[in-house]
Amino acid sequence: MTMLKRVIFASVASLAVAGPGLAQTDMPFALDWQFEGPAAPYFMAIENGHFAAEGLDVEITAGQGSLDAIPKVATGAYPVGFADTASLVKFLDQNPDAPVTGVMMFYDKPAFSIVGRKSLGIEAPKDLEGRVLGAPPPDGAWAQFPVFAEANDIDVSQVTVEPVGFPTREPMLAEGQVAAVTGFSFTSFLNTTRLGVPEDDMTVLLMADYGLDLYGNVIIANTDFARENPEQLTGFLRAIAKGLQDTVNDPEAGVDAMVSRNPAMDKDLEVRRLELALRDNIMTDWVRENGLGGIDEARFANSLEQIAVTYDFVNEPDASRYFDGSYLPDDGSLMVQ
């Protein structure tokens, strides 16, 4: 049974945007996390009428973590969502019949990082040897540490790992109780500098730049919904691409589009967080050359091998089950610059 609901436009303004006689499709979108800077492209797609131009009424809901949106979309509670690719792969391995798949890669590089301080001796991966690394046990970046360590020839027996909580991770780094932490690049970096650590004392080792081939967060879709509503899904992805272009052109406007929905937002902080995410995770050299949303098949295959370093697959990995690029628009809108 489809989640799709059609309603007739009730105002002349709405008709003018979406076209005469066109029914509007409700398309709720489940995020992985709160309304922060990196979510700006979705709100720009609302603010600048890109969803409306596709005949879509999109309501965005905040999430509670990288796994949060996957069951919401798999059960049909939401037709589309935003989730970590590695988490999606593991979910589908354990639930092979779940009607959910990735349809647009959004974080070409994941934000998984080692964030440390130069004054505490951290400038390169091997510098972790002989020092204390703070790592929250449930942290996504910590989960990738074995792959990162192997790729960079780190003797893990020489690294003292201190389990820390998320609320104490950056304060411990700022106080020098640990030399580095695992975390999202833009989160741990900004949280630590806000505690008074100078930016020029910070080292951010983005794991994707040091041997990690994993992809980051991906737009996911309920496959039943996608099969029944291919044009709406493609229109949704096209609107997101246009929202991203608007955000790249004017990051401050992107954050402004969220302020009314999160009045407690620190605008300057979120603009900086957005700029870091655009630079390091979204608008990579590969995306600028090849366009938003697709994947490199060889890299994706290697990323599955890297996931297998820390995860025992129940079923034989099948890349086609985790990502379907057939709904991506082919009209040039993905060539974001």
pLDDT at site 22: 54
**How many Å apart are CA 182 and CA 175, to the nearest integer?**
16
What phi and psi, each to the nearest 5 degrees, are found at residue 156?
-65, -20
What is residue 284's three-state secondary structure? Answer: coil
Mean pLDDT of the chain: 92
Query: Among 160, 96, 77, 68, which residue's Cα sits nearest to residue 316?
Result: 96
pLDDT-based confidence at residue 16 (cuts at 50, 70, 90): very low
- Are 95 and 226 in a shared domain? yes
| Predicted confidence (pLDDT) per residue in 296-328, tens digit | 999 999 999 999 999 999 999 999 999 999 999
Phi/psi region, residue 203 (left: phi>0; alpha: psi -120 to 50; beta: rest), is beta
What is residue 140's three-state secondary structure? Answer: helix
**Could you give the C-alpha distances from 275 to 34, 68, 272, 290, 327, in angstroms and in order?**
17, 25, 5, 21, 28
Q: Tell me which of 184, 209, 234 is where a domain ends.
A: 209
- Are 192 and 315 in a shared domain? no
**How many Å apart are CA 93 and CA 89, to the nearest integer?**
6
Query: Strands, E, within 126-179: which ranges?
Result: 132-135, 160-163
**How many Å apart are CA 237 and CA 325, to the nearest integer?**
11
- Are 227 and 101 in a shared domain? yes
- Are 65 and 27 in a shared domain? yes
Tell whether 1 is covered by a domain. Answer: no
| Predicted confidence (pLDDT) per residue in 278-298, tens digit | 999 999 999 999 999 999 999
- Are 30 and 84 in a shared domain? yes
Vertex 277: Cα angle to 271 and 279 (nearest 5):
100
Q: Work out whether strand 112-117 and strand 132-135 pair parallel, antiparallel, or are unpaired.
A: unpaired
- Are 117 and 181 in a shared domain? yes
Domain that holds residue 159: 112-209
Q: pLDDT higher for 331 or 11?
A: 331
Number of domains in the chain: 2
The sign of the torsion formed by the CA atoms of 242, 35, 274, 323 equals negative
Identify any residues that bridge with 259 across adjacent strands, giving them in sequence order: none
Tell whether 235 is covered by a domain. Answer: yes
| Predicted confidence (pLDDT) per residue in 25-67, tens digit | 999 999 998 899 999 999 999 999 999 999 999 999 999 887 8
Lowest mean pLDDT among 11-20, 39-48, 171-180: 11-20
CATH number of the domain bearing residue 148: 3.40.190.10
Q: pLDDT higher for 117 or 17?
A: 117
Lowest mean pLDDT among 1-5, 23-27, 211-215, 239-243: 1-5
